[in-house]
Amino acid sequence: MTTPTISYHQFRAEHDVVRDPRRASQRDRSRRAVILTLLTLFLPGGAQTTAGSRKLGRFALAVTIGCWFVLLLGLIMFFTLRSVLLSALTQPFLMWVGSVVLAALAIGWLILWVDTLRLIRFTTLAPGFKPIIGVALVLATLLTSGGLGYGAYLLNESRQALAGIFSGGPAIDAAEGRYNFLLMGADAGEGRQGLRPDSIHVISVNESSAETIIFSIPRNFQNAQFAADSPLNEVYPNGYNCGNDCIINFLYTETQNNYAHLYPDAQDPGAAAMMDAAAGTLDMTMHGYVMVDMAGFSELIDAMGGVTVESGGWVPYRGQRPDGSGWGDTWFEPGVHTFDGDEALAFARSRDHSSDFNRIQRQQCIQQAMIAQFTPQTLLTRFTDIMAAGENLVETDLPQSQLGSLMNLAAEAQEHDPQRLTLGAPDFGSAGDNFSTYPDFEQIRARVDELLANEEANEDQDDDAQESPAQAQDEADTESETDQSSEDSPAGPTPDQDDPAVSDDEPEVETPAEPSELTQPDGSPLTVEYLIAAEDRGETGILQEAASTNGECSPAQ
C-alpha cells in the first residue's frame, strides 16, 4: 500500500519595494523616487506614511489637512464674509502669528524634503536618473519651503509697514450712510518753503452700495469755509478769505506754522485744518485723510519699475532739453510714454500754458495707471522697494483696526463708475468765470445734493431691476397690450396728415468738422524743438493751443 504524499505550498509575501527597495530593479527604484517626490510635493507627510516613519507622516498629514481646511475656509469667507476676512488679515497680532506659522511650515516642509531624500536612497538610483531627481528635489524645495519662507518675510514686512502708516485709534462710523475721506497730493516743490497739497480730492463712498463721488478742489480755490466745530472759525469767521494769500493749498503750511496749537490732539494739524476746510466747503463730515508725498510718489513709481500712460496733448515741463543744451523748458509729446518717477511727477505737476483742470486730469490718470499696473507680479518681485517707498509716501489718520473693512469697501467701489465734480471750470463755468476765486457755496452744495440724489436714484433702479420673474412677466404683458393698442389706434399723424414737426424743406444739420491737427507754419507736424523755440520767442498762442488737450490722458499697457 502506497502512502499518499502531502504537498505543502510555501507562501512567501511579495517583496515590498516601496519600503525596502534594495532588491528592486533600477526601474522600480526610479518609479519609487518619483512617487515619493510627488507625495511630498502634493501631500506632505504622504511619503513618510508610505515608506518611512509613520508617526512623522501622520503628524505631517494632520498639519496638511489643517492647512487645506484653513485655506478652504478663507476662500469661502472671501466670497461670503470678505470684510471680516480682510479685517482679520490686517490685524497686527494676527499678521505676526501668520508670519510665525508660515516660517514654521517652511521649516517643517524642509524637514520632510530632507527625509524624502533619505527615503529615496539617492545612491541606489540609476546614474542617468540621479541628476533628474536631484534637480526636481531642489526646485520643489525652493517652491514649497522657499515660497513659504518668503511669504513669512512679506507678511512681517507688511505688518511693520502698515504699523508705520496707519494709526492705532478706534474704528470710525459712517455719517449719513457715507464715508468721506480727504486725499491730498503734497509737494514741497522747487523753490518752495514748506509742504503744500497741490492735489486735493474728497472721496465720498456710500457705506451700503459702495457708490462713489469724487470732488476735486483746485489748489487755488479761495474763501474756503470751515466746518462748524473747526477752531479756525475763530481766526477766519468768514472763511479763508484774505485774497490770493489764502488759496486753499496755503492753508496747510499756515496752520503748521501759526495755528498748530488749535489742534493739540492732531498728529498733523495742517491735515486737520484741510479736512475742516473740505468739510465746510462741501457741507460734509470728513472721516479721515490720506496724504501722498509727491517725493515718495516718485520713489514708489521707480520701485514699481515705471508707469505707462497715453497722453492726448503736449505737456510742458522742466527737464533736459533734447538738443543737449542743458536743463530748461521742454515738452512731453502726445502718445504713449513709460515714465520713471521723476518724469511721472513732472507730467502730473505741469500747469504752464494749460488749466488746473487739465492738471487734475493728468494727476488722476497717473493714479489710475499706477493702480492698473500694480499687479501681484510687481508686488512680489519688487516688494522690498515698494514697502520702503510706501512708508515715505503715505501719511494718514485712518485706523489700522478698520483697514480690512475699508479695503473691502474700496474693492466694491471699483465695480462702479464714480460721479465727479470739480469746484471750478468746467463744472462751474469756464476758466474765465473765475469760480475758484469767487465761489458760490450755495451752488456747490446744490450740486452736491444733486449728485447724492442721482446716487439714490441709481440705487432705486438697481432695486427695481431685482424684481421677481412674475412681476417682470406681468409688466411685459402690460407693455405688449399697450403696444397692440397703439398699433390699432396710432396717436401720431398718418401719411395723409401734416406733421408740423417734419418738413421736407428743413435743412440738414451739418456734422461739425474734426479739429485740424496743429502744425508748424510750413505745414509740418509740431516738434519738441519747434515748441522750445516758440517759447523762447514768446509765442504763447501756439503753446497754449498745443497744451490745451494735455488733460486727455489714459493708462496704457
- For helices 54-80 and 82-89, what crossing angle results, to 10°? 120
- Could you read off the pLDDT of 224-238 as tens digits, one per residue? 999 999 999 999 999
Q: What nine digits make up the cell of 548? A: 490745451
Integer angstrom CA distances of residue 123 from 358, 517, 525: 71, 75, 73
Per-residue pLDDT, averaged over 404-417, amounts to 80
- pLDDT-derived band at 305, boundaries 50, 70, 90: confident
The yes-or-no verdict on residue 512 having pLDDT over 50 is no
Please give the pLDDT value at position 293.
75
Which of the four pLDDT bands, split at 50, 70 and 90, describes residue 477?
low
Which segment, 195-204, 328-337, 435-444, is predicted with the most confidence on average?
435-444
- pLDDT, one tens digit per residue, over 50-86 is 888 899 999 999 999 999 999 999 999 888 888 788 8
The larger pLDDT score, comparing residue 71 to residue 187, is at 71
Q: Confirm if 204 and 284 have CB atoms less than 8 A apart.
A: yes
What is the separation of C-alpha 405 from the centre of its chain, rounded to a whole number of angstroms? 15
Confidence of residue 330 (pLDDT cuts 50, 70, 90): confident
Collect all residues with Cβ–Cβ distance below 8 Å to 327 and sequence separation of at least 6.
318, 319, 320, 321
- Alpha carbon distance, N-terminus to C-terminus of the chain: 101
Looking at every residue in the chain, the average pLDDT score rounds to 80
Q: Buried b / exposed e across 297-308, counting CB within 10 Å, b at 16+?
A: bbbbbbbbebbe
10, pLDDT greater than 50: no
The answer to whether 203 and 290 are in contact (CB under 8 A) is no
Q: Are 346 and 297 within 8 A, CB to CB?
A: no
Q: What's the mean pLDDT in 154-159?
A: 85
Domains of the chain and CATH, by start? 21-165 (no CATH), 178-458 (3.40.630.190)
Task: Please report which confidence band the pLDDT of residue 325 belongs to, taking 50, 70 and 90 as the band edges.
Answer: low
Q: What stretches of 288-331 show up as alpha helix (H) in DSSP?
A: 294-304
Instruction: Provide the grid cell at 240.
Output: 479763508
Inter-residue contact 232 to 256 (CB < 8 Å): no
pLDDT band for 381, please (50, 70, 90 cuts): low
Specify the pLDDT at position 485.
Answer: 44
Range of weakest confidence among 267-271, 364-368, 412-416, 503-507: 503-507
pLDDT at 298: 80
pLDDT band, very low/low/confident/very high, at 537 (cuts 50, 70, 90)? confident
Arithmetic mean of pLDDT, 539-544: 85
Percentage with pLDDT > 90 across the chain: 33
Q: Are 419 and 212 in contact (CB under 8 A)?
A: yes
Is residue 479 predicted with pLDDT exceeding 50? no
Number of H helices, E strands in the chain: 19, 11
Mean pLDDT of 33-38: 92
Residue 329 — pLDDT band, cuts 50, 70, 90?
Answer: confident
pLDDT mean over 422-440: 88
Residue 499 has pLDDT above 60, yes or no: no
What pLDDT is recorded for position 386? 66
Query: Percent of the chain scored above 70 by pLDDT?
Result: 79
The model's confidence at residue 462, banded by pLDDT at 50, 70 and 90, is low
Q: What value does the mean pLDDT take over residues 198-221?
A: 90
* Band of pLDDT at residue 184, cut at 50, 70 and 90: confident
On whether the pTM is more than 0.85, the answer is no
| pLDDT for res 447 | 95
Q: Where are the beta strands (DSSP E) in 81-224?
A: 178-187, 196-206, 212-217
- pLDDT tens digits for 354-372? 877 788 788 778 877 877 7
pLDDT of 12 reads 42
Q: State the pairing for strand pair 394-396/419-422.
A: unpaired
CA dihedral angle for residue 380, residue 381, residue 385, residue 386, rounded to 10 degrees: -40
Ranking 189-198, 366-375, 392-401, 491-500 by mean pLDDT, the lowest is 491-500
Greatest mean pLDDT among 156-165, 292-301, 446-455, 520-529: 446-455
Question: Which has more confidence, 175 or 467?
Answer: 175
Q: Identify which has the larger pLDDT, 374 or 89.
A: 89
In this model, does residue 494 exceed pLDDT 50?
A: no
Q: 9 pLDDT exceeds 80?
A: no
Average pLDDT over residues 96-105: 95
Q: What is the pLDDT of residue 505?
A: 42
Give yes or no for residue 7 having a pLDDT over 50: no
| Mean of pLDDT values over 480-498 | 43
Mean pLDDT across the stretch 424-450? 90
At residue 97, what are phi and psi to the nearest 5 degrees?
-60, -45
The residue ranking higher by pLDDT, 47 or 488, is 47
